[in-house]
Amino acid sequence: MSRKVIRSPRLARKEQKRKTRKTIALLLLACAVFLGVLYGFSRKEFRITSVDVSGVVRVPEGRVRGVVEAQLAGTYFGLIPKSHSLLYPKSALKETLTREFPTFSSVSVSLNNLASLRVSVREREPFVLWCPTAQPCFLLDETGFVFAEAEPGTENLYYRMEKEATTTPLGTVVLPREKLTALMFFLGRLEKLGLTPEKVRFLDGQELHVFLHGGMRLLLNENEFERSLTNIETLLSEKNLFPKQGGLLTVEYIDLRYGNKVYFKSR
């Protein structure tokens, strides 16, 4: 037979009071720990107060520093400062700087000390000029990425590439790296053959025109650089095929778009 345990109301009240006191003590301890941690996070010794920027050439240091300081402003959940040296938003800083400044190919963020942040960047190197219709020219790096507007006076420093466009290409890849590499190799070989490329114009489809010094054009397809080069070398080996004047071919264009069938028009 089971026995039923009967507790007196007095003992029950004492037990309840004990549990209440224990709960209150635990809550007070948790509050004390929370406030202690919060105090530690808010101490000035752990706040980033200066930002060092290195590696910039085209972008003023002040602009980069301003973006970083804006990211460090404010708090997490209204309590913990984002400028805390152990909790600053490192990944967000790198993403924001890369987005705000397309000229940066890489961004590194680290602490000099608990109060100083170091931002090191590497800028993209200009490779060619990219010139959309009715827009200023832009600088294109070796990956085909458009990263900045071209400054006045750079027209003669790089090959010029043109294409119809209605929107700005800044911050986008306009030529796949493989295609750009193949095109630049083709232009370099033309120079070795005594033909000086000045600009390239991309047309609809896969067609492009290469404008040479002296006014001559080469008409070819984008995916046939090697065969076009072979055909040009063969044509130039025929000494009396093209008329010359002052060392330049007096030809309006050479059409290389039809495989091994090559057409040209004299002036």
| SS3 per-residue string spanning 47-62 | ECCEEEEECCCCCCHH
Does 29 score more than 90 pLDDT? no
- Is there a single domain that holds both residue 113 and residue 89? yes
- Is there a single domain that holds both residue 182 and residue 262? yes
- Is there a single domain that holds both residue 93 and residue 146? no
Q: Which amino acid is at 194?
A: G
Which residues on adjacent β-strands are paired with residue 80?
Answer: 76
Does 27 map to a domain? Answer: no
Does 86 score more than 80 pLDDT? yes
Q: What's the confidence (pLDDT) of residue 245?
A: 60
- Is there a single domain that holds both residue 157 and residue 110? no
Domain edge (last residue) among 159, 175, 191: 175
Does 93 map to a domain? Answer: yes
Say which range, 146-150, 230-234, 245-249, has the weakest mean pLDDT. 245-249
Round the average pLDDT of the chain to a whole number and report it: 86
Torsion 235-241-247-249 (CA) sign: negative
The CATH number assigned to the domain holding 103 equals 3.10.20.310
Does 18 map to a domain? Answer: no
- Is there a single domain that holds both residue 213 and residue 147? no
pLDDT band at 191 (very low <50, low <70, confident <90, very high): very high
What the block records as the tokens of 115 is: 């109060």
Q: Which amino acid is at 5?
A: V
Higher-scoring residue by pLDDT: 204, 89:
89
Q: What's the confidence (pLDDT) of residue 112?
A: 92
Comparing CA positions, the residue from 109, 147, 110 lying closest to residue 125 is 147
- Cα–Cα distance between 116 and 126 in angstroms, integer? 32
- Is there a single domain that holds both residue 182 and residue 108? no
Does 84 map to a domain? Answer: yes
Does 147 map to a domain? Answer: yes
For 119-153, write each residue's pLDDT tens digit.
Answer: 999 999 999 999 998 789 999 999 999 999 998 88
Range among 212-216, 239-243, 248-252 rated most confident: 212-216
- Is there a single domain that holds both residue 216 and residue 266? yes
Pairing of strands 207-212, 217-221: antiparallel
- Is there a single domain that holds both residue 96 and residue 166? no
The CATH number assigned to the domain holding 223 equals 3.40.50.11690
Does 251 map to a domain? Answer: yes
- Number of other residues whose CB lies within 10 A of the CB of residue 207: 13
Does 65 map to a domain? Answer: yes
Higher-scoring residue by pLDDT: 69, 250:
69
> Cα separations (Å) of 40 from 16, 36, 37, 43, 166?
36, 6, 5, 6, 54
Question: Is residue 95 within a helix (H) or strand (E), and if so which, with residue range?
Answer: helix 90-100
- Is there a single domain that holds both residue 59 and residue 111? yes
Does 1 score more than 70 pLDDT? no
Instruction: Please tell me whether residue 210 adopts helix, strand or coil conformation.
Output: strand
- Is there a single domain that holds both residue 229 and residue 262? yes
- Is there a single domain that holds both residue 230 and residue 251? yes
- Cα–Cα distance between 10 and 43 in angstroms, integer? 49
**Are 265 and 250 spatial neighbours (Cβ–Cβ below 8 Å)?**
no
Domain extent for 261: 176-267
- Is there a single domain that holds both residue 248 and residue 211? yes
Residues with Cβ within 8 Å of 241's Cβ and at least 6 positions away in sequence, in order, are: 235
Q: What's the confidence (pLDDT) of residue 93?
A: 95
Q: What's the confidence (pLDDT) of residue 32?
A: 57
Does 6 map to a domain? Answer: no
Domain count, the chain: 3
